[in-house]
């Protein structure tokens, strides 16, 4: 795999372009404010064609579809918008089939780009349609949630859910371009903003202490979508994810570090099915837990978990493990699909900004965490720990 070479072009604080280096499949990530209408011209350079397909959900299409499509038409495309119902249930074979049908009906050919306008759900579904239609057509991500900007739109994993589990059928399929307009985030519910920021915290926690410290100083700017704070944060998060992905595109080793906090998060999500944890909230709980386990295993210095918990709480995220019987947690960990044999590659921190995997059984993962870090972490956003 081509080593990641990260090049960030700065054109003022309001626009940045990064590149994900994957040899022939390298692609740019563009981050800006109020740039939706300009996407069409950029798309026409990386996916020239007479037609374009936009896949979205009602809440996003209603607000942003027209602007994106105006730009596409201005760049010479005939546009077909396909709207799927909101919610993860739309990552289904039924909706995928619907997309294929509409693309055939529209006369989409090998060059017709499929443009995902929405959160991670739309990106995963539209991406899988792009990967499979005519054995692959150009795919463009226009993410509109923080989670999709910082995480789901980068890395080339696309998938649908089947009744047996989430993301069980999919592909590795890289987009031609990722176009982020952070102005679209203003309509995103506050809870979804915080949830997306959990993945941003994750990137700092596993990779870059200075970045993590910057997040600690700027929780307000992040939540208020201040471009001067959010654009550098998203671009650093994308750089980190891009670097990890460039070095391990198909998740054999390094990429596993991106699962930090996710082992327990999946269990929390499974067990709390009907109380509806948002994914990022479960990740926040999982990161605190994983950091505590890292300390208890003697891998991370004391204070690591408090720092994780303080930052997450400062962003309005929950960090307390929901009260389910230990047996239920064990059961949920056992069915985690990332488990190989009887052990799980548990992602532990070795400090803030560094991580490694440790093979652990579900019992070992759930061993009582060190009591010291279970105490209250203090007021919102405080940094009480100096290493
Ligand atoms: N491919 C990957 O690497 C990867 C990584 C992480 C998550 N995912 C997937 O991403 C999905 C979760 O992504 P998500 O959190 O973005 O969820 P989502 O796409 O369901 O969006 C969350 C909610 O926000 C709404 N929304 C989106 N943008 C909006 C905007 N700008 N204004 C107002 N409302 C808006 C949506 O309608 C939806 O109700 C899951 O399916 C998950 O499996 C994929
Ligand atoms: Zn996640």
DSSP letter assigned to residue 323 = -
Contacts of residue 18, defined as CB under 8 A and 6 or more positions apart, other chains included, come to 6, 7, 8, 9, 28, 29, 31, 235, 238, 239, 242
**Atom number of ligand 1 nearest to Cα 63:** 32
- CA 22 – ligand 1 centroid, Å: 25
User: What per-residue confidence (pLDDT) applies to 383?
Assistant: 23
CATH code for position 328: 1.20.1090.10
Both tokens of 186, joined, read: 């203003």
Residues 229 and 153 in one domain: no
Active site residue 186: no
Check pocket membership of 71 for ligand 1, CB cut-off 6 A: no
Compute CA distances 242 → 152, 155, 258, 265, whole Å: 11, 7, 11, 23
pLDDT along the chain (387 residues), means of 10: 43 78 92 97 98 98 98 98 96 98 98 98 98 98 98 95 89 97 97 98 98 98 97 96 83 87 93 82 98 97 98 98 93 70 89 96 80 42 23
Residues 157 and 220 in one domain: no
Structural domains of the chain, count: 2
User: What per-residue confidence (pLDDT) applies to 3?
Assistant: 37
User: What per-residue confidence (pLDDT) applies to 343?
Assistant: 87
Tell me whether residue 218 is in a domain: yes
Check pocket membership of 121 for ligand 1, CB cut-off 6 A: yes
Tell me whether residue 254 is in a domain: yes
- CA 196 – ligand 1 centroid, Å: 9
Are 157 and 120 spatial neighbours (Cβ–Cβ below 8 Å)?
A: no
- CA-to-CA distance for 49 and 41, rounded, in angstroms? 12
User: What per-residue confidence (pLDDT) applies to 166?
Assistant: 84
- CA-to-CA distance for 269 and 282, rounded, in angstroms? 6
- CA 238 – ligand 2 centroid, Å: 14
- CA-to-CA distance for 174 and 155, rounded, in angstroms? 7
User: What per-residue confidence (pLDDT) applies to 13?
Assistant: 59
Both tokens of 358, joined, read: 């440790």
Q: Phi/psi class of residue 126: alpha, beta or left (left: φ > 0; alpha: ψ in -120 to 50)?
A: alpha
- CA-to-CA distance for 387 and 371, rounded, in angstroms? 19
Active site residue 199: yes
User: What per-residue confidence (pLDDT) applies to 247?
Assistant: 84
Active site residue 203: no
Check pocket membership of 122 for ligand 1, CB cut-off 6 A: yes
Active site residue 6: no
Task: Determine the 3-state secondary structure of 359 from DSSP.
Answer: strand
Q: Can you give the residue range of the structural domain that contains 133? A: 33-188
Check pocket membership of 91 for ligand 1, CB cut-off 6 A: yes
- CA-to-CA distance for 315 and 194, rounded, in angstroms? 6
Q: Which spans in 257-349 are helix H?
A: 262-271, 279-296, 304-314, 326-334
Q: Of 30, 236, 241, 256, which residue is the catalytic one?
A: 241
User: What per-residue confidence (pLDDT) applies to 368?
Assistant: 64
Question: Which of 95, 121, 179 gets mutated to test ligand 1 (max ligand atoms within 8 A of its CB)?
Answer: 121
Closest C-alpha to ligand 1, atom 7: 152
Beta carbons within 10 angstroms of residue 190's beta carbon = 9
Compute φ and ψ for 218, nearest 5 degrees.
Answer: -125, 30
Question: Which of 91, 148, 337 gets mutated to test ligand 1 (max ligand atoms within 8 A of its CB)?
Answer: 148
Check pocket membership of 282 for ligand 1, CB cut-off 6 A: no
Residues 179 and 195 in one domain: no
Tell me whether residue 383 is in a domain: no
Q: Of 255, 256, 288, 307, which residue is the catalytic one?
A: 255
Question: Which of 58, 87, 124, 145 gets mutated to test ligand 1 (max ligand atoms within 8 A of its CB)?
Answer: 145
Compute CA distances 9 → 16, 90, 143, 328, 382, whole Å: 6, 36, 20, 49, 33
Number of H helices, E strands in the chain: 16, 13
- CA-to-CA distance for 323 and 333, rounded, in angstroms? 15
Lateral strand order in the sheet of 343-351: 339-340, 343-351, 354-360
DSSP letters of 319-362?
-SPP---HHHHHHHHHT-TTEETTEEEEEEEEETTEEEEEEE-H
Residues 132 and 217 in one domain: no
Strand pairing partners for 79? 52
Tell me whether residue 116 is in a domain: yes
Q: Which of 166, 188, 210 is the last residue of a domain?
A: 188
Check pocket membership of 225 for ligand 1, CB cut-off 6 A: no
- CA 148 – ligand 1 centroid, Å: 6
Tell me whether residue 384 is in a domain: no
Residues 177 and 56 in one domain: yes
Are 16 and 231 spatial neighbours (Cβ–Cβ below 8 Å)?
A: yes
Q: Is the dihedral of CA 55, 57, 62, 68 positive or negative?
A: negative
- CA-to-CA distance for 291 and 297, rounded, in angstroms? 10
- CA-to-CA distance for 302 and 74, rounded, in angstroms? 57
Tell me whether residue 352 is in a domain: yes
Q: In a 10 Å sphere around its CB, with 0-12 CB exposed, 13-18 middle and 19+ buried, how is residue 193 labelled?
A: buried
CATH code for position 89: 3.40.50.1970
Residues 265 and 222 in one domain: yes
**What angle do helix axes 209-217 and 227-247 make, rounded to 10 degrees?**
160
Residues 138 and 86 in one domain: yes
Q: Which of 188, 223, 245 is the last residue of a domain?
A: 188
Check pocket membership of 86 for ligand 1, CB cut-off 6 A: yes
Q: Which of 171, 188, 205 is the last residue of a domain?
A: 188
- CA-to-CA distance for 76 and 361, rounded, in angstroms? 56
User: What per-residue confidence (pLDDT) applies to 387?
Assistant: 21
Q: From start to end of the chain, where are the E strands?
A: 9-10, 15-20, 27-32, 51-56, 78-83, 114-118, 139-143, 157-162, 165-172, 177-181, 339-340, 343-351, 354-360
Both tokens of 348, joined, read: 């532990």
């Amino acid at each position: 795999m081509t080593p990641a070479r990260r090049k960030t072009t700065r054109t003022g604080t309001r626009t940045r372009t990064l590149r994900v280096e994957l040899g022939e499949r390298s692609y740019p990530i563009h981050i800006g404010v109020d740039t939706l209408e300009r996407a069409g011209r950029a798309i026409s350079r990386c996916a020239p064609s007479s037609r374009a397909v936009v896949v979205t959900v009602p809440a996003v299409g209603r607000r942003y579809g027209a602007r994106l499509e105006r730009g596409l038409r201005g760049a010479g495309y005939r546009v077909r918008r396909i709207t799927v119902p909101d919610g993860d249930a739309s990552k289904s074979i039924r909706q995928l089939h619907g997309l294929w049908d509409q693309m055939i009906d529209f006369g989409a050919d090998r060059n017709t780009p499929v443009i995902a306008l929405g959160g991670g759900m739309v990106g995963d579904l539209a991406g899988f349609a792009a990967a499979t239609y005519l054995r692959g057509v150009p795919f463009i991500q226009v993410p509109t949630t923080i989670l999709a900007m910082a995480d789901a739109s980068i890395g080339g994993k696309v998938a649908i859910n089947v009744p047996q589990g989430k993301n069980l059928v999919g592909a590795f399929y890289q987009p031609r371009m990722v176009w982020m307009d952070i102005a679209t985030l203003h309509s995103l519910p506050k809870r979804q903003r915080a949830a997306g920021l959990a993945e941003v915290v994750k990137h700092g926690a596993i990779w870059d202490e200075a970045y993590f410290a910057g997040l600690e100083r700027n929780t307000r700017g992040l939540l208020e979508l201040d471009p001067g704070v959010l654009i550098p944060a998203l671009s650093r998060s994308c750089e980190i994810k891009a670097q990890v992905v460039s070095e391990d595109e198909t998740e054999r080793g390094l990429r596993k570090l991106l699962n930090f906090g996710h082992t327990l998060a999946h269990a929390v999500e499974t067990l709390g099915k009907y109380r509806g944890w948002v994914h990022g909230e479960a990740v926040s709980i999982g990161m605190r837990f994983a950091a505590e386990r890292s300390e208890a295993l003697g891998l991370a210095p004391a204070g690591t978990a408090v720092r994780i918990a303080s930052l997450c709480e400062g962003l309005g995220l929950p960090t307390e493990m929901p009260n389910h019987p230990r047996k239920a947690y064990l059961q949920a960990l056992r069915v985690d699909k990332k488990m190989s044999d009887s052990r799980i590659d548990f992602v532990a921190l070795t400090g803030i900004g560094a991580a490694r995997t440790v093979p652990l059984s579900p019992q070992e993962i759930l061993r009582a965490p060190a009591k010291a870090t279970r105490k209250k972490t203090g007021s919102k956003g405080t940094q009480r720990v100096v290493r």
